[in-house]
């Protein structure tokens, strides 16, 4: 009873798990059963009290009914602690699911949200996708085919709707304000009843896509264990039967009880490279001393092109040049939001596209002779921001920008800085076999092994060198050693040093344990052996006693792979250490990996990149974008029971983890392109903007390499 008493002293822990899926109850059951199996008469009452305390009287009654149907004496004789905890937990969870299905529609909910600062306020817009649980397995099959997702909408399987619009009190509001506004939208949609909100957030909502994480410096977090909580009713019986077959097959092969779940106690967090670059752009602008003065000119010139009234007046200057005139019939740059890096880049790209035309035909005096200096009241884009008192000053700033070689050189430098940050940040979205290809390669995004091998460091050096050569060409129009030339080089050197220093500092962990172990999964044996030797030396070197090295040696993965004795945190008897099987004389030689492979053929330690995993085995090394884990993995099970294991491919864990997040990511991309925005909010600025074919062409240009962007710039000038 000590475990139950301890729980009663910590009501917060119990309250947290009341909506969870039995983690605390598992520990409680094991603690109780270890002492009470010898007394089967007291067992049902203890379990009922424990279930009632954590999950409420309804679940407790269900547990009591299930246990009453079994012979208590036989129960105590044939069941051990581990197997009985699974049986009892199954009864509790099934009761929880039945109660939830009666009260809540059986759907998965995926939310995509973004904020738009307008008029000093933040408008929070949220798109909600609902997928029926019965159709979830078929949706997974369509994850890699974007066209099939559209068919799902036609068949009314995926329902897209907009949550009520919420407004935060100030533009550029903080993270707490944005989440509060989102929560307000949810309450407006489903009501403010606490039980409904709990079911929506913990029972139905399985993913949330936004850019708030980057603003708040979040990294990837462990995904929810939804195998127990969100298991579709249609798969409940089939999955249980399949798991019994898998466990029996593993026992027949002498591999022990293989589980498909992941243990976070033996996992390693790998922050994505996108998060590494969260603050780089802001840090770069903070160190560029000439940026503020240059930005004032950029803002004045952008307003001439963004506001339709002024843009029409500029277009009149090109009546004799119909080709150039078409450049001013639309403007994809948008309004310049001073604190958003993406807005700055879009404006710079749009203005650079019109550089040749403006230099050739711009005349301030001719511009002032066209029409009046203030727009008509019915201007569809609203009144211009220039009042009569400030119009002349802004016109002069725009005129100075167009005629200044320094302004255009600085603009090209900003685009070069963006190219460096974009290429370095999106490197992880490709793969070693296809580079930056947008194809559906199984290894796409799985570059932890290359990072550990130093490939990303080489890519960083190459990117910086190429950008430096482009910068030398971009500033060729300035007089050498002049004031403007010196200011531009000073800002470039600051940006260059900030990017190089910050990226190298944030990626330095790849040279340390346990992250260095990711390199063992390289497909080239020579490279994998080199990383293995380096990891052994780093682990065994007694002269390195700094805090980072000591912490890396204590990690479960480091101990699992590099120590001669290892006691797993979860007490798994099959999680044996790997290094004792490697002869000491072979450590550091080419036979390290081969010896490890020959040590235990049943564990398949050396199978590389099977079905997208890095090292797949009964208890091997698993590397993906977010985790390395010592676990039993799907490829081994598929190999044992063959193609008849199709049901495993649609298990709840597979549906709601990586594959479902891929679907959410694709749906977010569709929303960004306007496919969903135009259907949900036909009059939105995003929907109107994305309809432009020219804007789609600009999107393709953004994905080009720095060399391709430079060549396109020369073609525009020509």
So what's the pLDDT on residue 711? 54
For the chain, the domains span 2-102, 107-223, 266-499, 512-631
476: pLDDT strictly greater than 70: yes
State mean pLDDT over 451-480: 86
pLDDT bracket for residue 686 (50, 70, 90): very low
C-alpha span between 68 and 88 (Å, rounded) = 12
Tell me the pLDDT tens digit for each residue of 641-658: 333 323 223 333 333 444
120: pLDDT strictly greater than 90: no
Lowest mean pLDDT among 26-35, 410-419, 617-626: 617-626
User: Within 13 Å of residue 667, how many CA atoms lie on the same side as its CB?
Assistant: 32
pLDDT bracket for residue 613 (50, 70, 90): very low
Q: If residue 168 lies in a helix (H) or strand (E), which one and from where to where?
A: strand 166-168
Question: What is the three-class DSSP state of 217?
Answer: coil
Pick from 89-98, 476-485, 613-622 the range whose average pLDDT is largest: 476-485
Cα radius of gyration (the chain): 30
Output DSSP code: residue 704: S
Closest CA to 667 of 131, 133, 146: 146
pTM of the full predicted structure? 0.51
Tell me the pLDDT tens digit for each residue of 535-554: 888 888 888 777 778 877 88
C-alpha span between 294 and 650 (Å, rounded) = 55
Phi-psi sector, 367: left (phi>0), alpha (psi -120 to 50), beta: alpha
Cα-Cα end-to-end distance for the chain:
83
Of residues 134 and 105, the one with the higher pLDDT is: 134
Peptide bond into 287 cis (omega under 30): no
Q: Tokens standing for 556?
A: 């479960």
Residues paired with residue 129 on neighbouring β-strands, in sequence order? 110, 160
C-alpha span between 283 and 217 (Å, rounded) = 14
8 Å CB contact between 694 and 330: yes
Lowest mean pLDDT among 450-454, 510-514, 525-529, 641-645: 641-645
So what's the pLDDT on residue 286? 82
Closest CA to 213 of 110, 123, 109, 113: 113
Lowest mean pLDDT among 5-14, 173-182, 268-277: 5-14
8 Å CB contact between 468 and 496: yes
So what's the pLDDT on residue 571? 56
Closest CA to 673 of 640, 641, 704, 695: 695
The Cβ of residue 524 has, within 10 Å, a number of other Cβ atoms equal to 11
So what's the pLDDT on residue 403? 92
So what's the pLDDT on residue 337? 84
8 Å CB contact between 488 and 409: yes
pLDDT bracket for residue 366 (50, 70, 90): confident
Pick from 105-109, 365-369, 679-683 the range whose average pLDDT is largest: 365-369
State mean pLDDT over 584-609: 37
So what's the pLDDT on residue 609? 24
So what's the pLDDT on residue 349? 92
Q: Tokens standing for 602?
A: 């049943």
Q: Concatenated DSSP letters for 406-474? A: HHHHHHHHHHHHHHHHHHHHHGGGSBTTTBT--S--TTTT--HHHHHTTHHHHHHHHHHHHHHHHHHHH
So what's the pLDDT on residue 272? 59
What percent of the chain stands above pLDDT 90?
Answer: 7
29: pLDDT strictly greater than 90: no
pLDDT bracket for residue 8 (50, 70, 90): very low
Q: Tokens standing for 579?
A: 């290094």
Output DSSP code: residue 717: H
639: pLDDT strictly greater than 50: no
State mean pLDDT over 375-394: 53
Of residues 297 and 675, the one with the higher pLDDT is: 297
pLDDT bracket for residue 44 (50, 70, 90): low
So what's the pLDDT on residue 637? 32
So what's the pLDDT on residue 410? 94
Question: What is the three-class DSSP state of 23?
Answer: helix
State mean pLDDT over 606-613: 26
State mean pLDDT over 404-426: 90
8 Å CB contact between 260 and 474: no
pLDDT bracket for residue 575 (50, 70, 90): low
715: pLDDT strictly greater than 60: no
Output DSSP code: residue 277: T
So what's the pLDDT on residue 45? 66
Q: If residue 637 lies in a helix (H) or strand (E), which one and from where to where?
A: helix 634-641
Q: Which residues contact 387 (CB under 8 A, 6 or more apart)?
A: none
What percent of the chain stands above pLDDT 70?
Answer: 44
Give how far the C-alpha of residue 519 lies from the chain's centroid of Cα atoms, to the nearest Å.
Answer: 22
Lowest mean pLDDT among 36-50, 67-81, 497-511, 609-623: 609-623
Of residues 664 and 510, the one with the higher pLDDT is: 510
C-alpha span between 342 and 435 (Å, rounded) = 24
**Dihedral through CA 146, CA 149, CA 150, CA 151, nearest 10?**
120
Q: Are strands 107-118 and 205-209 parallel, antiparallel or unpaired?
A: parallel
pLDDT bracket for residue 407 (50, 70, 90): very high
92: pLDDT strictly greater than 70: no
Lowest mean pLDDT among 239-253, 299-313, 412-426, 485-499: 239-253
pLDDT bracket for residue 402 (50, 70, 90): very high
So what's the pLDDT on residue 63? 63
622: pLDDT strictly greater than 70: no
Lowest mean pLDDT among 201-215, 268-282, 683-697: 683-697
Show the 3-state SS of 485-546: HHHHHHHHHHHHHHHHHHHHHHCHHHHCCCHHHHHHHCCCHHHHHHHHHHHHHHHHCCCCCC
Residues paired with residue 208 on neighbouring β-strands, in sequence order? 111
Of residues 612 and 482, the one with the higher pLDDT is: 482
C-alpha span between 393 and 216 (Å, rounded) = 38
8 Å CB contact between 169 and 121: yes
Closest CA to 236 of 138, 95, 81: 95
23-36 vs 43-55: helix crossing angle, rounded to 10: 160
Lowest mean pLDDT among 4-13, 314-323, 382-391, 610-619: 610-619
So what's the pLDDT on residue 696? 54
Query: Burial of 511 by CB count in 10 Å (0-12 exposed, 13-18 middle, 19+ buried)?
Result: middle
State the residue for tokens 């012979």: 71
8 Å CB contact between 371 and 313: yes
């Amino acid at each position: 009873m000590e475990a139950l008493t301890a729980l009663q002293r910590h009501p917060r822990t119990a309250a947290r798990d009341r909506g969870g899926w039995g983690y605390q109850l598992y520990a409680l059951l094991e603690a109780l059963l270890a002492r009470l199996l010898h007394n089967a008469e007291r067992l049902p009452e203890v379990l009922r009290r424990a279930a009632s305390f954590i999950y409420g009287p309804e679940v407790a009654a269900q547990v009591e009914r299930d246990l009453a149907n079994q012979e208590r004496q036989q129960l105590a004789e044939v069941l051990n602690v581990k197997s009985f905890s699974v049986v009892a937990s199954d009864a509790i969870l099934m009761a929880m699911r039945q109660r939830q299905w009666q009260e809540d529609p059986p759907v998965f909910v995926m939310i995509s949200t973004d904020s738009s600062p307008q008029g000093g306020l933040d408008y929070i817009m949220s798109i909600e996708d609902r997928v029926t649980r019965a159709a979830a397995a078929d949706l997974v099959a369509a994850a890699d085919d974007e066209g099939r997702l559209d068919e799902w909408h036609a068949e009314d399987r995926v329902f897209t709707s907009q949550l009520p619009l919420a407004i935060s009190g100030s533009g550029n509001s903080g993270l707490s304000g944005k989440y509060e506004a989102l929560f307000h939208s949810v309450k407006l949609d489903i009501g403010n009843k606490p039980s409904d909100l709990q079911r929506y957030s913990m029972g139905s909502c399985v993913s949330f896509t936004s850019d708030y994480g980057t603003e708040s410096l979040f990294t990837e977090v462990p995904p929810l264990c939804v195998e127990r909580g969100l298991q579709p009713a249609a798969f409940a019986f089939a999955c249980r039967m399949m798991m019994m077959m898998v466990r029996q097959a593993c026992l027949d092969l002498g591999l022990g009880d293989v589980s498909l779940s992941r243990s976070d106690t033996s996992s390693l967090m790998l922050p994505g490279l996108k998060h590494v670059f969260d603050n780089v752009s802001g840090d770069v602008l903070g160190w560029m001393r000439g940026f503020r003065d240059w930005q004032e000119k950029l803002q004045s010139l952008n307003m001439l092109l963004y506001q339709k009234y002024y843009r029409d007046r500029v277009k009149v200057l090109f009546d004799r040049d119909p080709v150039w005139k078409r450049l001013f019939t639309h403007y994809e740059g948008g309004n310049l939001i001073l604190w958003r890096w993406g807005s700055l880049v879009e404006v710079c790209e749009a203005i650079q596209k019109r550089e040749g035309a403006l230099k050739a035909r711009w005349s301030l005096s001719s511009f002032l002779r066209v029409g009046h200096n203030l727009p008509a009241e019915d201007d569809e884009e609203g009144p211009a921001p220039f009042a009569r008192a400030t119009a002349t000053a802004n016109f002069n700033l725009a005129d100075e920008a167009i005629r200044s070689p320094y302004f255009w050189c600085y603009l090209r430098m900003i685009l070069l800085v963006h190219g460096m940050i974009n290429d370095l940040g999106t490197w992880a979205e490709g793969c070693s076999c296809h580079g930056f290809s947008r194809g559906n390669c199984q290894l796409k995004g799985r570059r932890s092994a290359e990072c550990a091998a130093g490939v990303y460091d080489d890519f960083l050096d190459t990117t910086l060198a190429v950008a430096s050569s482009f910068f030398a060409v971009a500033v060729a129009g300035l007089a050498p050693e002049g004031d403007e030339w010196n200011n531009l080089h000073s800002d470039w050197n600051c940006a260059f040093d900030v990017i190089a220093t910050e990226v190298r500092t944030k990626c330095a962990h790849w040279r340390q344990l346990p992250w260095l172990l990711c390199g063992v999964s390289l497909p080239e044996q020579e490279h994998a052996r080199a990383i293995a030797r380096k990891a052994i030396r780093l682990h065994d070197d007694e002269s390195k006693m700094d805090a980072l090295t000591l912490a890396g040696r204590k990690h479960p993965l480091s101990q699992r792979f590099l120590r001669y004795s290892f006691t797993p945190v979860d007490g798994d008897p099959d999680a044996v250490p790997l290094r004792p099987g490697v002869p000491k004389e072979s450590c550091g030689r080419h036979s390290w990996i081969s010896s490890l492979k020959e040590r235990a053929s049943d564990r398949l330690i050396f199978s590389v990149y099977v079905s997208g995993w890095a090292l797949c085995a009964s208890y091997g090394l698993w590397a993906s974008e977010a985790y390395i884990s010592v676990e039993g993995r799907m490829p081994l099970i598929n190999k044992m029971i063959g193609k008849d294991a199709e049901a495993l491919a649609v298990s709840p864990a597979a549906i709601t983890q990586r594959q479902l997040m891929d679907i959410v990511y694709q749906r977010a991309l569709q929303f960004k392109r306007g496919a969903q925005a135009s259907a949900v909010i036909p009059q939105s600025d995003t929907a109107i903007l994305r309809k432009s074919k020219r804007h789609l062409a600009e999107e393709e240009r953004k994905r080009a390499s720095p060399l391709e962007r430079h060549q396109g710039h020369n073609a525009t000038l020509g």
